Amino acid sequence: QFFRELSLEDQIREVGENLPYADGIEIVDEMSLRYPDPGEEFVRKWFGWMERYGTVPVTMDVSFDVLQFRDHVMSHDEVAERLMRDMRLAKRLGFRNVRVLSTCPFEVMLKALPLAEEIDIRLGKEVHQPMRLEGQQVSEIIEYAERDGTRHLGIVPDFGIFGFRPTE
C-alpha cells in the first residue's frame, strides 16, 4: 500500500488467495478508504470483495490528528465525536472491532463506549511500546471493563511490547 503497488482490492485478494489460514481483514481507515465517507458504491464493492475472496472484516484502526485544525487542538469531546463517527463507519463496513492508537485518552474511549455497546462494536486500545501491560493506561481499561461488566472495551496488545531491545 505504501508504495502503491497494490490497491485495496489487490491486498484483500492476496489475503483470500495466498494466505490459506487467514481470512481476516484489518484496515487503517484514513489510509485505506476515501475518508470519512467512502460512499455507497464503495460499500457495495467492499462487500463484493469480501464475498469474492472469502475474507471477513475484522478490525478497523482509527487515529486522530488532534492538530488538524489551524485554530485549535481538538478537545476530548471533539475526538470522541470523531471516534463515534469512525465506529459507525466500521459497523457499516462489517467490522466488529475498532482499534484506537495508544495515544487515545481513556476519557475519549469512555465517551464513545455507550455507542460501542449500542452498535455492538468492540473498542480496543493498542498497547504499544513503550507502554507496558502492567501500566496505568492498561490497568484503567481492564479495571473499568471488569467493574462495569462491558465486553465492548479492552486492549489490543502489540507484540512489540515483549521486546527488550531492538532487533539486530
Could you tell me which residues come within 8 angstroms of residue 15 by beta carbon, excluding any fewer than 6 positions away? Answer: 22, 23, 24, 25, 53, 55
d(CA 113, CA 79): 13
Set 72, 76, 128, 152: catalytic member: 128
Assess whether 128 carries a catalytic annotation.
Answer: yes
Residue 66: burial class (beta carbons within 10 Å; 0-12, 13-18, 19+): middle
Mind telling me the catalytic residues? 128
